[in-house]
Amino acid sequence: MSGTAESGSSVLPELAPPVLLAHPGPHGVAVYAREIAAEVVGLDPRARVIAPDGLASLPPGTPVHAHVTDRLWGTSPEEAAAVIEALARRHPLSVTLHDVPQESDGERNRPRRRAFYRSVVRAAHGVAVNSAHERALLAEEDVWDGLVAVVPLPVDATPSLPAPPPDGSVGVLGYFYPGKGHDEALAAAVAAGVPRVSVLGRASDGHAGDLEAFVRRAAAAGVDVEVTGWLDDAAMAARARAVAVPVIAHRHVSASGSLASWIGWGRAPLAVRNRYVDEMAELRPGTLRPVEPDALASEVRGAVAEPGRTWHGIHPLPHGRADAAGAYLRWWAEGLA
């Protein structure tokens, strides 16, 4: 097993890939697992995809691959660890880790989540993540410093459409929770004289009160907040494309599905710099605008004056879903399955 998973030959490996586990439901990791599984099957028809409730039908010893975050596999990190450990006792297991533990998990949950991820990597035969940033986090959080493959989150451009008239708002995409960047976007909007902020999504579970408090803070600062709630893919894409200034300002980030979505919709979001943002800017040059934290307000002001700044016009985009699926097939062929 190598520490990277790079593009290469499209010739099918001698061995079939592991059985791909894909949860049902709207959780972002579950959706991503299903999308990648479909791409893998498209490249290698020998691949099989099952939901976790179908595991009992697999003979013991059948290799499987799972996308893992504690919130997808149990109601607590401890319950999730027990489920994954039982799975690994029955099947050779490779995993893609998501939502890697870090400071933003807080004093109570951070040790519990570290323990969960340690148990997963001890049980697995192969470990992948979605960024070199996450690979570094695993070592920094004392979870794992061994070999880890990196398969970045893929982005495929949607059909090119004319840019709609900007709606005059600063937009933040995804679930609302403290640290997601909404406060930074609000502060930048106030400083730049932008009177609207769009929350493109709903409150994360347990954070409805935080969202209500945010709306009140914004109103006190003279800024109106629109909360779209959940929208289907087409409606969210249309709404996000109309935002005047897309902003990514996570205080802590593992890998960002919202950044990938903005880019796929043709937007070049203002992204407050961190290790992950810099990595994605290198992977897809010209598709985002890295911004120093103290320059966000001035960049928002500039984007309002020049709307073209937040559209990238790049097609095709580097590293799409087929590239990611091919990287997984090559990685598994190195000895995991």
Burial class, 49, CB count within 10 angstroms (exposed 0-12 / middle 13-18 / buried 19+): middle
- Rounded CA gap, 102 and 178, in Å? 14
3 confidence band (pLDDT: 50, 70, 90): very low
Phi first, then psi: give them for residue 203, nearest 5 degrees: -70, 135
Q: Which 3 state secondary structure label does DSSP give 250?
A: coil
Ramachandran assignment for 151, one of left (phi > 0), alpha (psi -120 to 50 degrees), beta (any other): beta
pLDDT of 6: 45
| pLDDT score recorded for residue 335 | 66
Residue range 310-324, pLDDT digits in tens: 999 998 999 999 999
Token digits of residue 161: 């459409």
- Residue 123: which of 177, 175, 83 has the closest Cα? 83
Q: What tokens were used for 329?
A: 């097939």
State pLDDT tens for residues 80-136.
Answer: 999 999 999 999 999 999 999 988 778 888 999 999 999 999 999 999 999 999 999
Phi and psi of 20, rounded to 5°?
A: -95, 120
Q: What is the mean pLDDT of residues 12-24?
A: 87
Do 252 and 104 meet the contact criterion of CB atoms below 8 Å apart?
A: yes
Cα end-to-end distance, the chain, whole Å: 11
> Cα(18)–Cα(93) distance, rounded to whole angstroms?
9
Copy the structure tokens of residue 336: 């995991």
Q: Considering only CA atoms, which of 103, 243, 231 is closest in space to residue 166?
A: 243
| Whole-number average pLDDT of the chain | 92
Residue 11: pLDDT band with limits 50, 70, 90 = low
Whether pLDDT at 9 is above 60? no
pLDDT at 302 over 70: yes
Helix and strand counts by DSSP (H, E) for the chain: 12, 12
Say which residues have a Cβ less than 8 Å from residue 46's Cβ, sequence separation at least 6.
12, 16, 17
Instruction: Tally Cβ neighbours within 10 Å of residue 297.
Output: 18
pLDDT score at 1:
37
Q: Which residues, 6 or more positions from 53, have their beta carbon under 8 angstroms from its beta carbon?
A: none
Which residue, among 190, 191, 173, has the nearest Cα to 182 in the 3D structure? 173
pLDDT value of position 183: 96
| Cα 83 versus chain centre, distance | 23
Mean pLDDT within 262-276: 96
* The pLDDT value given to residue 158: 83
Categorize the per-residue pLDDT at 161 as very low, low, confident or very high, splitting at 50, 70 and 90. confident
Task: Read off φ and ψ for residue 334, nearest 5 degrees.
Answer: -75, 0
Q: Are the beta carbons of 281 and 301 closer than 8 angstroms?
A: no
Q: Which residue in 96, 166, 153, 182 sits closest to 279, CA to CA?
A: 153
Residue 12 pLDDT: 62
The predicted model gives 44-59 an average pLDDT of 95
Torsion angle of the four alpha carbons 171, 172, 177, 180, in this order, in degrees rounded to the nearest 10 = -130
For the whole model, what pTM was predicted?
Answer: 0.89
| pLDDT of 4 higher than 80 | no
Which pLDDT does position 2 carry in this prediction?
38
Residue 13: the pLDDT is: 61
